[in-house]
Amino acid sequence: MNELFRMGSERALYASLRGLKIKSYQTSDLDQYLDFLDASNFGLAGGLIPYMEQLHDTGWKDRNGKQHSYKAASIRIKIDAAKRLGDYIIEHHEKQFTPEVLLRWEREKKKAKAPKSVKAMDEDKYILWPDVLALIEKTEDPKIRLIMAFLAQSACRCAEALSAKIDDMTRTGTHYRIRIVGKGDKERWVKVEIRIIEEILSVFGSTTWLFEHSGRPYNANSITTRIRDIGRVVLGKRISCHTFRHSWTTEQFRLGRPIDEISKYIGHACISVTADIYGHNSMSSENAMLTVFVEDPPEEMARDSVIAPTPAEEPVSDTVLSYLWGEKL
């Protein structure tokens, strides 16, 4: 029995909608949900969850008949398309639906949550902490060197660092607390050592933006290009501004920092995002105190709040170590 319509043919409607074009959605994804509904006994609302389960469990076949699994991102795209198609049908054929079905459709949309992509980070996306220190030490350009030091200690995204404003900094103890506005306008605070900030202000002549030239913030693409070129020369590796963020986070896991504190500091939406990306890291309970605290550490911890990373094969100067860890090691 058709639960969806007061009148008319549901199957005829599906046939009339094939080839529908909706902005930002692939017609093939829209047709795929129509095909599923046509081949099943489910109505539009009742079919959403079973459709998602079929995508996950059954996958797809290539031209040679070989079975493949959909990636989480592909399932999410197809479910989003199915939801948009359902909304379109209801918008244009609302009179054919009972109030109960309309309510059920809204409930089913909320329940149909596609799996999140697992963005596990490859090992070539980060560098070991001694390499971070060596890279900064061997960078001759003072401005790029300071940007690297800031990125390494703050774990900011490049765009976040270049958007930092002087008015959003507060000096406290041995650090500056800096207000960062990240993805989705999510606000957080990071800490960077006073001597780094003071040298940045001196070298860049900043008045509004922390990293400033001619009264304007630096361009992220140009900075990324410079850092990539230096990384190739110094380390023989392809790196980017984001490498410092990945390397900082990897080092925090190595030293045993709790994942909830790491996630909060780097501005992830939730702990699961951090776990997905950095799932390759092994967490140790030893050496849990790190150089950068989300909040000020207790007085009895302050003197011991700097933990040295594993030494590099070639010693790195005290100056560079002090840039990142707050005191000479």
Q: Which residues pair with 187 in a beta bridge?
A: 181
What values do phi and psi take at 105, rounded to 5? -60, -45
When comparing pLDDT for 242 and 291, which is higher? 242
Residue 165 has pLDDT above 60, yes or no: yes
**pLDDT tier at 5, thresholds 50, 70, 90:** very low
Query: Would you say 60 and 54 are in contact if contact means Cβ atoms under 8 Å apart?
Result: no
With a CB cutoff of 8 Å and minimum separation 6, the contacts of 198 are none
Tell me the average pLDDT across 170-174: 90
Q: Where are the beta strands (DSSP E) in the chain?
A: 60-61, 67-68, 169-172, 175-181, 187-193, 212-213, 216-217
Nearest in space to 162 (alpha carbons), one of 212, 96, 110:
212
Tens digit of each residue's pLDDT (9 = 90 or more) over 218-261: 988 889 999 999 999 999 988 999 999 999 998 888 888 888 88
Residue 147 has pLDDT above 60, yes or no: yes
Average pLDDT, the chain: 78
Residue 194 has pLDDT above 70, yes or no: yes
With a CB cutoff of 8 Å and minimum separation 6, the contacts of 281 are 250, 253, 254
**pLDDT tier at 132, thresholds 50, 70, 90:** very high
Only one residue has tokens 């599906």, namely 14
Tens digit of each residue's pLDDT (9 = 90 or more) over 262-277: 888 998 877 777 877 7
**pLDDT tier at 120, thresholds 50, 70, 90:** low
Residue 85 has pLDDT above 60, yes or no: yes
Specify the amino acid at residue 123: E
Tell me the average pLDDT across 8-12: 65
Structure tokens, 76: 């999410």
Query: Would you say 306 and 325 are in contact if contact means Cβ atoms under 8 Å apart?
Result: yes
What values do phi and psi take at 212, rounded to 5? -140, 145
